[in-house]
A and B are shown apart, each in its own frame.
Chain A
Amino acid sequence: MSTQQQPVLRLQNLTRVHGSGATEVHALRGIDLDVHPGELVAVMGPSGSGKSTLLTIAGGLDTPTSGQVFVEGTDVTALGIKGLAALRRRSIGYVFQDYNLIPALTAAENVALPRELDGISARKARTEALAALAEMDLGHLADRFPDEMSGGQQQRVAIARALVGDRRLVLADEPTGALDSETGESVLALLRSRCDAGAAGIMVTHEPRFAAWADRVVFLRDGAVVDQTVRSDAESLLTGRAAQR
């Protein structure tokens, strides 16, 4: 993680109010958050704390009441509908709890689709998709359809799709929610390794075991960041500390 580099995602004083008057709900209250290349950030908090709202606004799927969202330096909140659609398509990858692969397409076709939408040739898109799958040790799944894959395999393909081409921001909403704990772990290990390779990830989860794969864990409560952990650089974490027990 480097703080010299421009953040891939920057949230600045973000607020989101649903409704007005007596039924007004403050889903987010002044959130500031940067996610740098190489960094995986987990967002935790009780239900209703604003986790999902934060993620949908970060991904340009919802607009903030005030504040700004920068993706790769571009102010998302200042874009028109067309510009926003292009940015969403080109710069942001999404990973959902229920995989969201297109059932009629193979793994390789699913991964190639965003690149074809980028406007590159179908052949080049397929080559890139196969390369992306191979890089994540998923090459053997290339010609399988979603219903021929396990949940964990589908989710790994979804991560490949999220980061194909030069995309390097992945937004994950409970990516392990539908998986058993060992499979969930392998999905997290993949997400972790993609971030180690330079992507930026932000993940909403309520499972501390999965949040623990992140570099930083941000705690939300009532729409505000109440706390966060900072990654330590010491490699000898146990020696010394354990002796104090």
Chain B
Amino acid sequence: MSIRHGLLALLERGPRYGSQLRTEFESRTGSTWPLNVGQVYTTLSRLERDGMVVQDGEDEAGHSLYAITDSGRVELRSWFENPVDRTSPARDELAIKLAMAVGAPGVDIRDVIQSQRRHTVKAMQDYTRLKAQALTAVEKNGAQERDDIAWLLVLEQLIFQIEAEARWLDHCESRLIRLSSTAPAAGPEPASPGAAAGAAGMGARAGAGAEGAARHRP
């Protein structure tokens, strides 16, 4: 997450001091990624070192003000113009956990999936409630209130991401059920760590449940 570019974007609207930048950053993003003042000042001094901001006097209360420079503006333009890199995905704990749960002794991967699903759907409920509030705020304050709109966009991004996770969990479960119903009865130590291991990793209980469901279906 680029605090650096976030600060440059706020400074483009005029000189600001550190804690003001922190407040504005958080109201834009609904405190989704809280900053501490220390991070703000560390980032500002790096930006200053790189010639992208300069100290620009003080306000009446004696706060040191920072202003964006031309090279800061060039950097900011280039940030808006270039896509965010998605080719080297961040480590995802859930993906790693499910990968490890495949074939893990004593672990019912269907239970792992379900407990995550409950948590994921719960988080979606929470975000959706916040979204309903944000929508009301946008309707009430009109489209002029930039912070309300920015916060709504951030919330919707969280909802889309978490929805993708919920769908992926459903997909994992149905794939595992399908694999376990087609795989030959695998021993406790499958020879290959491929699909057969995934099926065996379902555990006896989940496997029986899946077969039961298939048999009971009209």
Interface residues of A (CB under 8 A from B): 18-19, 24-26, 44, 46, 48, 189, 192, 208-209, 211-215, 217, 219, 221-222, 226-232, 237-239, 242-243
Contacts and interface: CB of A to CB of B under 8 A. Distances in A.
A61 B135 CA distance: 37
6 contacts: A44-B121, A213-B125, A219-B114, A227-B114, A229-B121, A238-B32
A232 B126 contact: yes
A48 B30 CA distance: 40
Interface of B: 30-34, 114-115, 117-118, 120-122, 124-130, 132, 135, 159, 163, 166-167, 170, 173-174, 209, 212-213, 216-218
A44 B117 CA distance: 11
A237 B130 contact: yes
Contacts of A226: 114
Contact of B125 (A189, A217, A238): A217
B124 A209 contact: yes
B37 to A, nearest CB: 15
Given A211-B121, A239-B34, A222 B128 contact: no
Contact of A48 (B31, B159, B170, B217): B217
Contacts of A242: 31-34
Given A219-B114, A227-B118, A239-B34, A18 B127 contact: no
Contacts of A208: 120-121, 124, 163, 166-167
A135 to B, nearest CB: 17
B170 A46 contact: yes
Nearest to B33: A242
A214 B122 CA distance: 10
A212 B126 CA distance: 8
Contacts, number: 82
Interface centre among B115, B127, B173, B216, by most A CB within 10 Å?
A: B216
Contact of A26 (B120, B128, B159, B216): B216
Nearest to B218: A25
A89 B117 CA distance: 37
A222 B31 contact: no
A44 B120 CA distance: 13
A48 B213 contact: yes
Contacts of B120: 208
A231 B121 CA distance: 11
Contacts of A26: 216
Given A212-B159, A238-B130, A243-B34, A18 B218 contact: yes
Contacts of A243: 34
B121 A217 contact: yes
A238 B68 CA distance: 31
A25 B213 CA distance: 9
Pairs A-B, 5 closest by C-beta atoms: A212-B124, A208-B166, A212-B128, A229-B122, A237-B126
A229 B128 CA distance: 14
A51 to B, nearest CB: 13
A196 B201 CA distance: 44
Contact of A209 (B117, B159, B173, B217): B159
A25 B167 contact: no
Contacts of A25: 216-218
B154 to A, nearest CB: 10
